[in-house]
Structure 1
Amino acid sequence: MKKVGMFVWNHFTNDARVNRECTALAEAGYDVDLIAINDPKNPAIEAFEKVSERFRVHRVKRYPWLLQAYSDFGKPFVIVVGGLAMTVAVGLFFVNFMILSSYLMMLLATAGAIKQRKVRKIVVNSAIIARMIVKGYLCKSDIYHANDLNTLPQGIVCAKLRLKPKPLVYDSHEVQSDRTGYDKKKIKVIERFLLRFVDEMMVENHTRAKHNEEIYGFYPQTLYNYSELYDINERPKVNLHHQLGLPEGEKILLYQGGLQQGRGLEKLIEAMPHINEGVLVFIGAGKLTATLKSLAQKSPERDRIFFLEKVPFKELPSITREAYLGFQVLQNVCFNHYSASSNKLFEYIMAHVPVVSCDFPEIAKVVNEHEVGIAIDAHDYRNIAHAVNELLTNQERYGKAKANTKKAKYIYNWQNEKKKLLALYEGIELKTGFIGKVKHQLKPKNMIE
């Protein structure tokens, strides 16, 4: 039985894509250890979780041991550390004044550095990376799998810094070199260097694969982020209307996912005064939560805008099915957004919910070719309102879109797509079995000069 060591830079509570990949590998006979990050603020998740007989989750602690001890014990820990520091200071006073001065300066410098947010972030992230590496080594995997750039160094260390190097898969869910809030030039340099150690790379779709070829010189594997195939009528029912205090016939206009910048969420609120019917419901959380709630309160349609906390991905379909239509209105703020074919589009389709979407290539291709909704230029709130009103009033078009989702889901589903993941792993096994080690097949000689 081949063992897979996989890394993910989150708590693994809402990562449907990684769950699908791990489950598919486990069902195919691989022994999977997923290394994630623990959440000290959430007592509901555990450091170790056995998802199935062949799929386990290990969550490493977030903070360095001193910060972790402070988090665990609070003021008593501060008193003990302060007492020890003072005892050492008193002892040094009688030994050498210069040493005492240096010691006090070191304490002040450490305290000052910890107050700096960037320094704290570096310290915390370094502790997480170190613990992931240790756990990765202890798992003694045959193949390592890094999800996104922030776990690739861990994968490289565990896979390559050993007497017998192991194969390494780089599974890039985002366009790391062109994302909001990222230094494009720096990320390109880092990613280009780290790719030297990668044996197989996967990206979400062909638009991103072509982009990767343009900047790095090779075309990676594609693995679309499709939803699991299921019968939505067999999922448990959730009376969302009752939960929100709405009449049963009220139409729910749903956005589900992270509340982040560049997703057109402000445009949805801006469009509400021009939408003839229905209520806007956000399900999720993120950095934009407070801003969106503030905008909603200022809107003349504030009574038609609702917010719900994010729910575990396994429970989400029961809520999605309650929607009249779903939104996927990304803004063209970076190539990562422009090239997306994100999971929520396929979650809507799987729940038989027509969509109002942006007209970016990967998303519009699905929406237009299969007529499961309306693709628009989502940068203008008036276009959003017009599309929603069309689906509200044109019942023939809406009915056709809803019927088409029931056909499209048999094309865009994980049961079809996971075959590509398993084929990639089978290819790795063939290479390791007959060649003795995995060669860097994915990079042509002129890839990195």
Structure 2
Amino acid sequence: MNNIHITLTEFRNESRVIKETTSLVSLGLFNKVRVVALGADDLPERETVAAGVDVVRIRLRTRHLPRNILFQAVKFVEFFIRAMLQAYLFRPGVINVHTLALLPVGWSVKMLCGSKLVYDAHELETEVVWLRGVKQRVAKGIERCFIGSCSLVIVVSESIADWYQKEYSIKRPFVVMNSPRRIVPESSNKLRRELNISDNQLIFLYQGGLTRGRGVKALMDAFKVRMDNNAVIVFMGYGELLADVVDASQQCERIFYRQAVPPRELLGWTSSADVGVSLIEPSCLSYLYCMPNKLFEYAMAGLPVMVSQTKDMADFVRKWNIGVVLSDMTPAGINLSVDQMVSNVKFREGGERAYKAALCHSWEVQEVHLLEGYASMGVYPV
């Protein structure tokens, strides 16, 4: 049996999709898995990413059209048709869609090929901060219309699973968290050596997108007004706030920027910090219920964490006692938590507990939940 996954990304560093597809092949659920994604000039149209897993990127003929709503719709229609053609030729027994907009595509392939449909929701997409008014009503209408046709719904947190069950009166979705595979963290001193950070300064590390809604500005403001130099913040990543971060690093001796590194090199840099930082601003339900992969990556690297007051993430940190949860996102609130980490001589025990928590939620554990989900719709290892 074949399995096809359709995504509206260019499939560059889609760690969750890569983990899922490789697991589905290695566990013996499918003979072959194909990912259909958007094309890009700097990426091959066809690529093998693992044994039994290949990628087909669709280079839209309409991609150079303007980015207004009318031409974006034209581009989507082209992708819809060509993705359906790819699926029809591949003849999948199961089709997975990885975003709400692709549910109609998945339903069409289901009807055309007799496939089972899997909706893999990477976030609570109808409850994101930028989706309001008519757009939100349309999105919820699409989800409500097609979600009942899905043989399996997969989500990334327990609260999101509860929300879907209540909102649409469906069977509770299966939770498959976006956590890394088990690794043994290695001691590293890369950040101190490259950025010339003193041994007696605690390194707080922010890795990921330098975008709004993730506490980047609040962190910079907090470290700018600190009265001592016993803690520093290092930002690693890229995004719309990159210039602001670089500027802050040039003006404040407690703020550092280190450009992002390839995923295969990430762990060595992560483990060279002292505390991992994940400050998702709870400005919408999607953010409130999130369980970001960075939280698990910090924990797998053996770092205690400092997190914001988002429900599932804060519950996780408190349950495993692996760090501190901010009282609020003001500079004073952030510095209060920083001071707690600095003054707690046992904070490294939080790193040990974090690693244990990471092992208990590793991708090897999530694979079991993935198997249970596919078994619920009658797909078993051969």
TM-score (norm 1): 0.76
The reply on whether 1:202 has 2:154 as its aligned counterpart is yes
**Aligned 8 A contact 1:331 1:378 in 2:** no
Higher mean C-alpha deviation, range 21-30 or range 247-256: 247-256
TM-fit CA distance, 1:179: 0.3
Q: Within 2, Cα distance between the matches of 1:406 and 1:413? A: 10
Is residue 329 of structure 2 the alignment partner of residue 379 of structure 1?
yes
Contact 2:218 2:330 in 1 (8 A): yes
Shift of residue 24 of structure 1?
0.9
Alignment of 1:407-422 (within 5 A): 407-422=356-371
**Whole-Å Cα distance in 2 between the matches of residues 246 and 200 of structure 1?**
49
Residue 231 of structure 1 pairs with residue 230 of structure 2: no
Counterpart Cα distance in 2 of 1:315 and 1:158: 38
Contact 1:14 1:312 in 2 (8 A): no
Contact preservation (8 Å) 1:274, 1:382: no
- What is the match of residue 138 of structure 1? 89
Unaligned runs of 5+ in 2: none
Determine the structure 2 residue equivalent to 1:108: none
Which one of 367, 375, 380 corresponds to residue 426 of structure 1?
A: 375
C-alpha deviations, 1:137-158, integer Å up to 9, x for none?
2222111111121332322222
| 2:34 alignment counterpart | 33
C-alpha deviation, 1:416, in angstroms:
0.9
CA pair 422-306 structure 1, distance change in 2 beyond 3 A: same
Identical-residue share of aligned pairs (%)? 25
Structure 1 residue 181 corresponds to structure 2 residue 181 = no
**AA matched with 2:224:** P
Q: Secondary structure at the match of 2:5?
A: strand
- Cα-Cα RMSD: 2.5
Whether 1:166 aligns to 2:115 is yes
Q: CA deviation at 1:34?
A: 1.2
Q: Match of 2:153, SS? A: strand
Counterpart position of 1:56: 54
Name the CA distance, whole Å, in 2 between partners of 1:214 and 1:404. 33
Matched, 1:216 2:168: yes
- 2:21 aligns with 22
Deviation digits for residues 185-243 of structure 1 (CA, Å, limit 9, x no counterpart): 22111211121332211111221111112221122222122221111229xx6823444
Shift of 1:376: 1.7
| CA shift for structure 1 position 293 | 4.5
Aligned partners of 1:160 and 1:197 also within 8 Å: no
2:295 counterpart of 1:342: no
Cα distance change, pair 250–136 in 1 and its aligned pair in 2 (3 A): farther
Quick one: which amino acid aligns to residue 239 of structure 1? K
Q: Return the offset for 1:426.
A: 2.7
TM-score by length of 2: 0.89
Structure 1 runs of 4+ aligned residues shifted over 6 Å read none
- Residue 331 of structure 1 aligns with an amino acid whose one-letter code is E
Equivalent position SS for 1:35: strand
Equivalent pair of 1:328/1:358 in contact (CA under 8 Å): yes
Looking at structure 1, the residues matched to 256 and 60 of structure 2 have their Cα atoms a distance apart, in angstroms, of 33
* Contact 1:15 1:313 (8 Å CA) reproduced: no
2:177 is paired with a residue whose SS is coil
Q: CA deviation at 1:64?
A: 2.1
1:388 equivalent in structure 2: 338
Higher helix share: 1
Instruction: Choose from 76, 99, 113 the match for 1:125.
Output: 76
**CA deviations over 1:396-425 (Å, ceiling 9, x no partner):** 2x1221221232222121111211111222
Q: How many pairs align? A: 373
Distance 1:116 1:23, change over 3 A: closer
